[in-house]
Structure formats: structure tokens, C-alpha cells
């Protein structure tokens, strides 16, 4: 009896309880069937199905075990009578695996649904054994292999979905016998071969979807017999030929997609009458000829009509019954005859209250844009009229179409003013009116289009200036105005203040004046064309901050001066055209290392000196230097004279500060490199920007601080100038000795701009860093303890430590320095004046932020941070330092055992110390690196002690000097045996 049978089948399982058993028994589940296997066959088939699943992140299969009857397993349904599996439904269960051939043993199966999983390998041919199968759903997996031809044995199959997989091979012709098949969907696979003519026998077929495969051949004539067909999607294959004439008589059809194949022929003139249910008609990108049948308007259910990219000719018929139209595209045909009535069909669309896309571009339409365009539904989003011969004004009623996002009217013959009503179209993202005959000013109302992404107004006859309101279009990425009659200066209001396009083309106008310095704010600019205007003056050095630039054209203007040395940062340039200007000076050698440069045009300028020979200069067809009389050298193709080198005359300091000599810009002014004739050496001149409040005070502070102090580790002031310049403005400058190795910050954090072209940035060695650390500490010790009145520097940081040609550190920038007696006075009279000094974020001690008075302890804090930065290579402002973690805490936490994790890795790789000879001996090296590690622990310990939070607990700077000296002595003793 059932009980015995069941127990004999049940595997030893502790979880199979008597309780479960009774439940099962009560529901009468123990009936068996002898037809087509039995319930045990099903159980084993399911277990094998489970075994082929390799990933089951949702745990669907966890219920598939013998603690419950398989009919209760998730996704399994059984027939009541036989307890045999009739449905296996595992739709969207994130399963990964292959499909077990044993499903072929589920002989009662009606429906197999594995949609939206990641099944791979082939469709098992054993499925052909499932004679009762009605529904087979396999779409959206990664199934490969072919469609098994023995599926034709599943005579009751009605739905077959295997779309969006990796199926290959041909569609089996035998499937044409499936007389009950209603849907056959295999789109988005890689099937080849033809559509079998036998499919004309699928008398129940309602839907055929084979788009996006590689099917060839033609549409079988037999398809005219598919009288129940509704959906017919064949597009994006390699079909050719014609549509069988009988096909156009299948009145049930709602969707035809035969786009993007190579079908030819005419559309039957009665198409709208024979296909009255048509909703979607896609025949774009084929070779249809003839006219659009007038009857199309009778297919009043049409939502989508896409006839684009064919060879239709003639007049577009009235569309007045097509009230449901959402997409209407007849782009890229040969419609219209260039005459006045061409666009009258647009008026017939005014009842299409859901129209979103209206695309009539690239035809022969002429005449005016009719005023009825304003009666078109305000749902209209895309309006494509470009590449026609449409003339006259844009009617003001276009302002009714308030949902427009994209207007393409380019390459027509529109004239008159650009209507300012366009400023009402708040959703507009793309506006292209280029290549027309528009006149007048650019309406300032366009500034209201705050969603605008791209604006093209080039090749018209526009005049006046760029309205400053356009700066409100902050999302603008492309702004093109080339070849108009625009004039006036390019105001800094427009350029670089708020919007930051990647693509700006102002070429071929009459813009004049100098290029505003704010151009440097165009941080995203990739393509900048200001050619063929009347711009003059020097290239603003700020342009060097536009580091995304790939295309820069300034040809045919009146620019002068030299190419700023800061241009070295524009390493992404592919196209640089400076031709036909008055540029002078040498051709920058760094251009040799611009790896992406493909075109360099410097012709017709006054460049002089030698032409470099590497990089782009090797390619005679990519470069042009014509019309520069004083060039020499270069590769032989250029046929330039040989260079004769002579020592140029020393220049006088003329107080003419050009951007080539700019070596730095700080808060209170700019620093230039110059030559002081009477001293016969190079100097650095800091010109204070007196427009900046605080600059006078800073000048005074610096003069006073430096007047009486002198130390080998402080930068030397040669003289100070205080006068009135030739425009009657106050002029203040400080002249320092010039230190040729730049500042410590550049050495610690090299950027492409700070090292010479093609030179690998040299990292500071361990010993160099230690020496510089001693230099800075010595300078502070002097300021704090050995001046008549102690001086607090207030801005110790790497960029204020300059290095001379022997890499000796010199503390500079006394713009914030204070005498200690001033501070005491200040704080007793006016507390806020001392708090006003903030120094630099990251280096300022915490107590300054809390309004505490300035003190020498503040400098020690900054020094401690500088020391930690020098040996970890991390800036205190690095992104990793957020919330509660700072550089001090990080180093403190790793001392001493784990410092290897945080020290600048280049220090650990160091084998040889510059300037010190060591034996090339492994042991020595090992000792050396161990030694360095010990020294690092000591040095970082000093840095941590200097940067503790409580001011009075910080190490005295004199002790720092002593300790660092002793570390250095110790280190040297290991290397050279003193
Ligand atoms: C399988 O069918 C037999 C009868 O043929 C029945 O005795 C047995 O209990 C059934 N087992 C299950 C697990 O349904
Ligand atoms: C295809 O299946 C994936 C899961 O594998 C699912 O995320 C995606 O939405 C499915 N695509 C469709 C069109 O159903
Ligand atoms: C196919 O379906 C018909 C009608 O539902 C049914 O009578 C017939 O038994 C089915 N054939 C198979 C093999 O199950």
C-alpha cells in the first residue's frame, strides 16, 4: 500500500517527520500514474535540474529537498490527479546554470518558464519529448547553440519565446508544422539562414518577432496565408526583396517592423484601407520608392509611422485622421518639391494630441513654415526641420510648443530675427539654427533657457554682442556662433563666470579687445575656436588652467607677445593653431613632449630662434612655420637656416612684467623672474596686487620683518620698491634673490607642470629631505630666538620653502609675519587683529581657529605638519583626511611598528644617497635601509611632538634642530665611516 511504497522511496532523512507524512497522506498525494514514467521519475528529474544550477543567490532551490514533497518545491506545480509536474516556473530567479536534459522526463509538463535568468549552454533536445508542452519561455538568458528541430514534436506548443539569448544556426524548417503556435519570438540572437517558407503554414500564428538577427533571404510569399497575424517584426536583419503583395491584405495586422533591411518596392495605394488596424508601421532604412499613399490617413490607429531613410518622393498627403500619432518620421527621403505648399501637411497634424516626435528633416521641403505649427499639440518634444529649403521667419506661435526639448532647423533658408519667444521654451535642451539667414541680435531671452545643453547659431548674419544673459545657461556644454557679424568685446561676464562649456566656437566674427583673463575659468573646455576675429593683446596666462583643451585655434587675430610658459600644462592638445598673429619669442620647446599634438600651425608670426626637432616637429606635414623670418634649425624639410648661437644682451629691469616670466601667483600678488642690471643676477620680484585688501598690510609686514634679519635659511630681500606707476597707481614690489630650484611643495608633489619636458621627476632623497628639514627648523629657531624681537612667521608650509641650486632650504613669504611685541599690543587693544591672520588650511594650528593669539608655538605646529608631509608624502589636506582623521593622528597611530605603511614609498626604495659614496655591498645596503627606518621613526616622532594639540606641549624648535642634527650625524656614520 501507499504507506509502504512511500517509505521505501523515502531516503533516510531525519527531517522527514511522521507529521509531514500524515499531512501528505491526508491530502491523498499517494496516487501514482504509470503513463510516461512515474512520480519518482519527476523527482529525480527535478533533482538533476537542481544539480545543474551553479548559482542560486535567492536560495530558490533550498526548498528542493526531500523534507517536503516535490510538488511543494518552489516553482513546481503538479496535477491534482497524478501528482506529476505540470508547470516549472522559475521566472526572474537570478539562477545561473545549464538546463538539465532530464526536464525531458517531466512527461506531464505543460509549461516551462525560465525567463530572465542566466541559463547557459544549449536548449536540451530532450525537450522535444514533452508532447504535452504548450508554453516554452526561455527569453533573456545566455543560452547558446541552435533551436532543436525536434521541438516540432511538441505538437501542442502555442508560445515559444527564446529572445535575447546567444542562439546560432538556422530556424528549423520543421517548426512550420506547429499548427497551434501563436507566438514565435526569437529576436536579439545571432540566427542565420532564412525565414523558412514552411512558416506560412503556421495557421495560428499571431506574432512573429525575429528582429536583430542575421537572417537573410526574402519574406516568403507564403506569409500571405498567415491570416491571424497581428505582429510582424523582421527588422534589423539582412533581408531583401519585396513584401509579398498578399501580405498587405492581412487585415488583423497591428504592427509591422521591417526597418533597417533592404526591402524595396512601393507601398500599395490602398494600404490604409486593407490594414485598418495598423498601429505601428516601421519601414525606415529600406529602399521604398514612390509616394506615400493618400490612404495612409485611413489607418486611424497609427501611433508610430516611421518611413525615414527611403526614397519616397512627391507631396506628403493629408494626415488629418491620424489623431493618435505619437511619432511621425519621414526624414531622409526626397519628399517635397521646394515649393510653397510643401509643408501644408503639417496643418493636418493639429488633431494629433499626443504627438511627440515630428521629424521631416533632410528632404526637399521648401516654402514657409506655416503658422499652423503653433496648433500642433503642445506635447511636441522633438521638432526636426533641418536640411530642407524652408524660408521666411520662424512664426512666433512656436512659443506655444512649450514642451519642446530639441529644435533642429539648421541648413535651411530661414530669415528675419531669431524670435525672442524661443526664450519661453523652458524645457529646451538643444537649439540649432545654424546655416540660415538670420539677422539682428541674439535675443537676450535665450538666457532664460536654463536647461539648454547645446546652442548652435553659426553661419548666419547675426550682429551685436553676446548677450550677457546667456551666462545664466549654466548647463550649456556647446556654444557655437561661428561666421556671423558679431562684434564688441568678449566680455568676462559671458566667458568664464558661470557656464563652462566643453565646446566654444566664436570664430569668424568681429570680436575685438583682449581675451578676458576669466577664460581660465572654462575648466571643462576641450574645443576653443576664436580664430578670425580682431582680438589683440597677450594670451592670458590663465588659459593654462584649461587643462582639458584638445583643440585651440586663435588664427587670424592680432595677438602678440610670447606663448606663455604656463602653456606647458596643456598637454592634451591635439590641434594648436596660432597662425597669422603677431606672436614673438621662441617656439616653446615643451611642445615636443605634447604626445597628442597632431597639428601645429605657427605660420605668419614673428617667432624667432631655433625650431625644435622632436615630437610633432619631426612631422613636416603636421607643422607649419611659414612667414616667420627669424626661425632657424628644425628638421631639414623646413629648409630653415642653421642657428648661430650668441649670448643675448642682458635685459634691463624695465618694470614691464610679462606672463613668460611669471613664476608664481599668491594671495597678495604675482612673482616674476627678472634680471637686475646693477646686481648682474637673476632676481624674483613680487608685485603686490594692491586691489586686494590686505596687500598693503602684507607689504608692510614683510618689509619690516625682512629689514633687519639675515640668516642662511631665510630668503634674501635685495630691495623694496614703493612708487607710482605710469598710470598713476600705487606700485609696490619686493625684490628677492632668485632661487632656481623652486619650492619644496613642487618637489614633494610633482605635477607635469613642474618638471621639464621628457624628464622623469626626480624625487628628493632621504638625506635631502632631512637637510631641508634642518634648514627650515634653523630658520625658525633664528626667528623665534635670535632676533631682537621674536618674529612669528604664521605661514610655514612647503610652498614657502624655496630651494637654491644646492638644494638648501630658504624660508620665504613674510607677508603674514608678526613681531611678538605687536601681537601683545594687538591683543590687549584689539583682539580681532591677531585673529585675522589665518595662514593656510592644513598647516594652521587648531588654536588659531579658536581665536587664540599668535605665538611661536603656532609656527612649531605648522613645522611639525611640514615635517610629517616631507616624509610621508601626504598633504595634510589630502582627501583621506576627513572627519576625525588628520595627518598627525595617522602618523601617531602607526608609530613605531607600522610606519612602513605610511612613509613616502620612494624613501624605502632608496639605495644610494646623492653625494655620498657607499660600498655597493648587500649588507651595507641592508644596514642602510634598516638605518633609514630607524631614522624615520625618530623624525616622524619629532613631527608628531611638534604638532600636538596643546601649544605648550610642542617641542621647542631649538631642540628640534639639535635632534635632527644628531639623526643626520648618525645616518652619515653608517654610510661613510667617519
Ligand atoms: C508515487 O506514486 C506511488 C503510486 O504509484 C505512490 O505510492 C507514492 O506514494 C508516490 N510518491 C510520491 C512521492 O508522491
Ligand atoms: C533580463 O533579465 C535580467 C536578470 O537576469 C533582468 O534584470 C532584466 O530586467 C531582464 N530584461 C528584461 C527585458 O526583462
Ligand atoms: C493537445 O491539446 C489537445 C486539446 O487541448 C488535447 O486534447 C491533446 O490531448 C493534447 N495533446 C497532448 C499530446 O497532450
State phi, psi for 968 to the nearest 5 degrees. -65, -45
Question: For the chain, what's the residue count?
Answer: 978
Ligand 1 atom closest to Cα of residue 24: 14
Contact predicate 589/613, CB 8 Å: no
161 alpha carbon, closest ligand: 2
Ligand lying closest to the C-alpha of residue 163: 2
Q: Are residues 753 and 722 in the same domain?
A: no
CATH code, domain with 724: 3.30.200.20
Verify that 770 and 902 share a domain, yes or no.
yes
Q: Are residues 759 and 678 in the same domain?
A: no
Ligand 1: residue of 82, 83, 84, 85 to mutate (most ligand atoms within 8 A of CB) is 83
As given in the structure block, the three cell numbers for residue 478 are: 556647446
DSSP 763: P
- pLDDT, one tens digit per residue, over 201-233 is 999 999 999 999 999 999 999 999 999 999 999
Same domain, 873 and 970: yes
The candidate with the shortest Cα–Cα distance to 802, out of 869, 871, 729, 739, is 739
Q: State pLDDT tens for residues 32-66.
A: 333 467 889 999 999 999 999 999 999 999 999 98
Ligand 3: which of 36, 109, 111, 132 to mutate, most ligand atoms within 8 Å of CB? 132
Instruction: Find the CATH number of the domain harbouring 46.
Output: 3.80.10.10
Is the minimum distance from the CB of 116 to ligand 2 under 6 angstroms? yes
Nearest CA to ligand 3 atom 3: 156
Would you say residue 914 lies in a domain? Answer: yes
Burial class (CB in 10 A: 0-12, 13-18, 19+), 236: buried
Residue 161 has a pLDDT of 98
Range of the domain at 818: 743-977
Q: Is the pLDDT of residue 916 over 50?
A: no
How many domains is the chain partitioned into structurally?
4
* DSSP 3-state of 819: strand
Does some domain include residue 782?
A: yes
Catalytic residue among 795, 813, 826, 859: 795
Q: Which three cell numbers stand for residue 143?
A: 543560452
**Mutual orientation of helices 856-872 and 766-785 as an angle, nearest 10°?**
180
Domain termination site, one of 167, 189, 213: 167
Residue whose Cα lies nearest atom 14 of ligand 1: it is 30
Mark which of 151, 167, 183 sits at the end of a domain: 167
* 424 pocket-lining for ligand 2 (C-beta < 6 Å): no
- Tell me the ligand closest to 131's alpha carbon: 3
Instruction: Find out whether the beta carbon of 29 lies less than 6 Å from any atom of ligand 1.
Output: yes
Alpha carbons 620 and 634: distance in angstroms, whole number:
10
pLDDT at 853 (0 to 100): 79
Q: How confident is the model at residue 722 (pLDDT cuts 50, 70, 90)?
A: low
Show which of 139, 167, 195 is a domain's final residue.
Answer: 167
Higher per-residue pLDDT: 235 or 661 = 235
Cell 614657502: give the residue.
Answer: 800
pLDDT at 970 over 90: no
Q: What is the pLDDT of residues 56-109, one digit of tens each?
A: 999 999 999 989 999 999 999 999 888 999 999 999 999 999 999 999 999 999
Ligand 1 nearest atom to the CA of residue 39, by list position:
1
Question: Are 21 and 53 contained in the same domain?
Answer: no
Element holding 282 (H helix, E strand): strand 280-282
371 found inside a domain:
no
Catalytic, 795? Answer yes
* Tens digit of each residue's pLDDT (9 = 90 or more) over 398-440: 999 999 999 999 999 999 999 999 999 999 999 999 999 999 9
| Predicted confidence (pLDDT) per residue in 869-885, tens digit | 999 999 998 888 877 78
Q: Which atom of ligand 2 is nearest to the CA of 140?
A: 1
Domain assignment present for residue 65? The answer is yes
The reply to whether 4 and 124 lie within a common domain is: no
The answer, yes or no, to whether any atom of ligand 1 lies below 6 A from the CB of 3, is no
> Does some domain include residue 312?
no
pLDDT classification of 931: cutoffs 50, 70, 90:
confident
Q: Is residue 527 part of a domain?
A: no
Same domain, yes or no, for 729 and 775? no
CB 475 within 8 A of CB 450: yes
Q: 124, 120, 81, 121: which is closest to 105 by C-alpha?
A: 124
Q: 54 CB less than 6 Å from ligand 1?
A: no
Q: What angle do CA 396, 397, 399 make, to 5 degrees?
A: 85
Which residue lies with its CA nearest to atom 1 of ligand 2?
116
For residue 139, how far is its CA from the centre of ligand 2 (angstroms)?
9
CATH code: domain of residue 899? 1.10.510.10
Backbone phi and psi for residue 712, each to the nearest 5 degrees, phi listed first: -65, -20
Closest atom of ligand 2 to 116 CA is 2
Give the whole-angstrom CA distance, residue 341 versus residue 328: 19
Q: Is the CB of 6 under 6 A from ligand 1?
A: yes
SS (H, E, C) 124-187: CHHHHHCCCCCEEECCCCCCCCCCCHHHHHCCCCCEEECCCCCCCCECCHHHHHCCCCCEEECC
Shared-domain flag, residues 763 and 704: no
Q: What's the gap in Å between 15 CA and the centre of ligand 1?
A: 19
Which ligand ends up closest to the CA of 157?
3
Query: What pLDDT is recorded for position 461?
Result: 97
Domain for residue 761, yes or no?
yes
- For residue 856, is it within any domain? yes
Residue 307 CA to ligand 3 center (angstroms) comes to 44
Do residues 785 and 850 both lie within one domain? yes
Q: Ligand 1 centre from 27 Cα, in Å?
A: 13
Nearest CA to ligand 2 atom 7: 116
Mean pLDDT of 484-499: 78
Do 827 and 755 belong to one domain?
A: yes
User: Are both 145 and 101 inside the same structural domain?
Assistant: yes
The residue that leads in pLDDT, 564 or 9, is 564
The answer for 869, left when phi > 0, alpha when psi is -120 to 50, beta otherwise, is: alpha
Tell me, yes or no, whether 714 and 750 share the same domain: no
**Residue 626 marked as a ligand binder:** no
Amino acid at each position: 500500500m501507499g504507506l509502504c511504497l512511500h517509505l521505501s522511496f523515502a531516503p533516510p532523512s531525519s527531517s522527514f517527520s511522521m507529521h509531514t507524512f500524515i499531512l501528505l497522506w491526508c491530502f491523498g498525494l499517494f496516487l501514482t500514474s504509470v503513463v510516461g514514467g512515474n512520480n519518482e521519475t519527476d523527482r529525480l528529474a527535478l533533482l538533476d535540474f537542481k544539480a545543474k544550477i551553479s548559482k542560486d543567490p535567492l536560495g530558490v532551490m533550498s526548498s528542493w529537498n526531500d523534507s517536503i514533497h516535490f510538488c511543494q518545491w518552489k516553482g513546481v506545480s503538479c496535477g491534482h490527479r497524478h501528482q506529476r509536474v505540470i508547470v516549472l516556473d522559475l521566472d526572474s530567479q537570478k539562477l545561473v546554470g545549464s538546463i538539465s536534459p532530464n526536464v525531458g522526463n517531466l512527461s506531464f509538463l505543460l509549461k516551462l518558464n525560465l525567463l530572465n535568468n542566466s541559463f547557459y549552454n544549449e536548449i536540451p533536445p530532450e525537450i522535444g519529448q514533452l508532447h504535452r508542452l504548450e508554453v516554452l519561455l526561455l527569453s533573456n538568458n545566455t543560452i547558446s547553440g541552435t533551436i532543436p528541430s525536434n521541438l516540432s514534436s511538441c505538437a501542442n506548443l502555442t508560445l515559444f519565446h527564446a529572445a535575447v539569448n546567444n542562439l546560432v544556426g538556422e530556424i528549423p524548417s520543421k517548426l512550420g508544422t506547429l499548427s497551434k503556435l501563436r507566438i514565435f519570438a526569437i529576436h536579439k540572437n545571432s540566427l542565420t539562414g532564412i525565414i523558412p517558407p514552411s512558416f506560412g503554414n503556421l495557421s495560428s500564428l499571431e506574432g512573429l518577432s525575429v528582429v536583430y538577427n542575421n537572417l537573410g533571404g526574402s519574406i516568403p510569399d507564403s506569409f500571405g496565408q498567415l491570416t491571424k497575424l497581428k505582429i510582424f517584426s523582421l527588422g534589423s536583419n539582412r533581408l531583401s526583396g519585396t513584401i509579398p503583395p498578399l501580405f498587405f491584405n492581412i487585415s488583423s495586422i497591428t504592427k509591422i517592423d521591417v526597418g533597417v533591411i533592404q526591402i524595396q518596392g512601393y507601398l500599395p495605394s490602398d494600404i490604409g484601407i486593407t490594414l485598418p488596424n495598423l498601429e505601428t508601421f516601421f519601414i525606415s532604412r529600406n529602399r521604398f520608392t514612390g509616394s506615400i499613399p493618400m490612404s495612409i490617413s485611413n489607418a486611424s490607429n497609427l501611433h508610430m509611422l516611421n518611413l525615414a531613410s527611403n526614397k519616397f518622393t512627391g507631396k506628403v498627403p493629408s494626415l488629418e485622421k491620424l489623431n493618435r500619432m505619437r511619432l511621425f518620421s519621414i526624414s531622409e527621403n526626397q519628399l517635397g518639391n521646394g515649393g510653397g505648399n510643401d509643408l501644408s501637411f503639417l496643418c493636418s497634424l493639429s488633431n494629433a494630441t499626443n504627438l511627440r516626435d515630428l521629424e521631416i528633416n533632410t528632404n526637399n521641403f521648401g516654402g514657409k513654415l506655416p503658422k499652423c505649427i503653433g496648433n500642433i499639440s503642445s506635447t511636441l518634444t522633438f521638432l526636426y526641420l533641418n536640411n530642407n529649403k524652408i524660408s521666411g521667419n520662424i512664426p512666433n506661435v512656436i512659443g506655444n510648443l512649450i514642451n519642446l526639448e530639441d529644435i533642429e532647423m539648421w541648413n535651411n533658408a530661414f530669415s528675419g530675427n531669431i524670435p525672442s519667444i524661443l526664450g519661453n521654451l523652458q524645457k529646451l535642451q538643444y537649439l540649432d539654427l545654424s546655416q540660415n539667414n538670420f539677422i539682428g541680435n541674439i535675443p537676450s531671452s535665450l538666457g532664460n533657457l536654463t536647461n539648454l545643453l547645446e546652442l548652435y547659431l553659426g553661419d548666419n548674419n547675426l550682429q551685436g554682442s553676446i548677450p550677457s544673459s546667456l551666462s545664466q545657461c549654466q548647463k550649456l556644454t556647446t556654444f557655437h556662433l561661428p561666421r556671423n557679424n558679431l562684434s564688441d568685446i568678449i566680455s568676462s561676464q559671458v566667458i568664464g563666470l558661470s557656464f563652462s562649456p566643453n565646446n566654444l566656437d566664436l570664430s569668424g566674427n568681429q570680436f575685438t579687445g583682449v581675451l578676458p583673463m576669466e577664460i581660465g575659468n572654462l575648466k571643462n573646455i576641450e574645443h576653443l575656436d576664436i580664430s578670425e576675429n580682431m582680438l589683440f593683446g597677450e594670451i592670458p596666462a590663465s588659459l593654462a588652467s584649461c587643462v582639458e583643451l584638445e583643440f585651440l585655434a586663435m588664427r587670424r587675430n592680432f595677438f602678440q607677445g610670447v606663448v606663455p610658459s604656463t602653456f606647458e600644462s596643456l598637454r592634451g592638445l591635439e590641434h594648436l593653431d596660432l597662425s597669422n598673429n603677431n606672436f614673438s619669442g621662441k617656439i616653446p620647446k615643451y611642445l615636443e613632449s605634447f604626445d597628442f599634438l597632431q597639428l601645429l600651425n605657427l605660420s605668419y608670426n614673428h617667432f624667432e630662434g631655433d625650431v625644435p626637432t622632436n615630437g610633432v616637429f619631426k612631422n613636416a606635414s603636421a607643422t607649419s612655420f611659414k612667414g616667420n623670418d627669424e626661425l632657424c634649425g628644425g628638421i631639414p624639410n623646413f629648409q630653415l637656416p642653421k642657428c648661430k648661437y650668441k649670448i643675448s644682451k642682458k635685459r634691463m629691469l624695465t618694470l614691464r612684467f610679462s606672463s613668460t616670466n611669471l613664476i608664481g601667483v599668491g594671495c597678495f600678488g604675482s612673482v616674476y623672474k627678472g634680471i637686475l642690471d646693477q646686481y648682474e643676477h637673476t632676481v624674483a620680484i613680487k608685485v603686490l596686487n594692491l586691489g586686494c585688501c590686505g596687500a598693503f598690510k602684507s607689504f608692510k609686514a614683510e618689509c619690516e620683518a625682512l629689514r633687519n634679519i639675515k640668516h642662511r635659511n631665510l630668503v634674501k630681500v635685495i630691495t623694496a620698491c614703493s612708487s607710482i606707476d605710469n598710470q598713476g597707481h600705487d606700485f609696490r614690489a619686493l625684490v628677492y634673490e632668485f632661487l632656481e630650484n623652486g619650492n619644496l611643495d613642487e618637489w614633494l608633489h610633482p605635477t607635469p607642470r613642474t618638471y621639464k619636458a621628457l624628464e622623469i621627476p626626480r624625487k628628493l632623497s632621504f638625506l635631502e629631505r632631512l637637510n631641508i628639514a634642518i634648514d627650515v627648523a634653523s630658520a625658525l629657531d633664528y626667528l623665534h630666538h635670535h632676533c631682537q624681537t621674536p618674529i612669528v612667521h604664521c605661514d610655514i608650509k612647503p610652498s614657502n620653502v624655496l630651494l637654491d641650486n644646492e638644494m638648501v632650504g630658504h624660508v620665504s613669504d613674510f607677508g603674514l609675519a608678526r613681531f611678538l611685541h605687536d601681537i601683545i599690543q594687538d591683543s590687549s587693544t584689539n583682539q580681532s587683529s591677531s585673529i585675522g591672520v589665518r595662514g593656510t588650511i592644513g598647516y594652521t594650528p587648531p588654536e588659531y581657529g579658536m581665536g587664540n593669539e599668535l605665538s611661536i608655538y603656532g609656527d612649531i605646529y605648522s613645522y611639525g605638519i611640514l615635517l610629517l608631509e616631507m616624509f610621508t608624502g601626504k598633504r595634510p589636506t589630502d582627501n583621506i583626511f576627513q572627519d576625525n582623521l588628520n595627518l598627525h593622528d595617522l602618523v601617531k597611530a602607526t608609530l613605531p611598528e607600522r610606519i612602513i605603511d605610511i612613509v613616502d614609498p620612494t624613501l624605502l626604495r632608496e639605495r644610494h644617497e646623492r653625494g655620498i659614496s657607499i660600498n655597493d655591498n648587500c649588507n651595507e645596503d641592508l644596514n642602510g635601509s634598516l638605518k633609514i627606518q630607524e631614522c624615520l621613526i625618530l623624525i616622524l616622532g619629532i613631527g608628531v611632538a611638534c604638532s600636538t594639540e596643546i601649544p605648550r606641549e610642542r617641542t621647542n624648535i631649538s631642540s628640534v634642530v639639535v635632534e635632527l642634527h644628531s639623526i643626520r650625524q648618525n645616518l652619515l656614520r653608517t654610510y661613510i665611516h667617519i
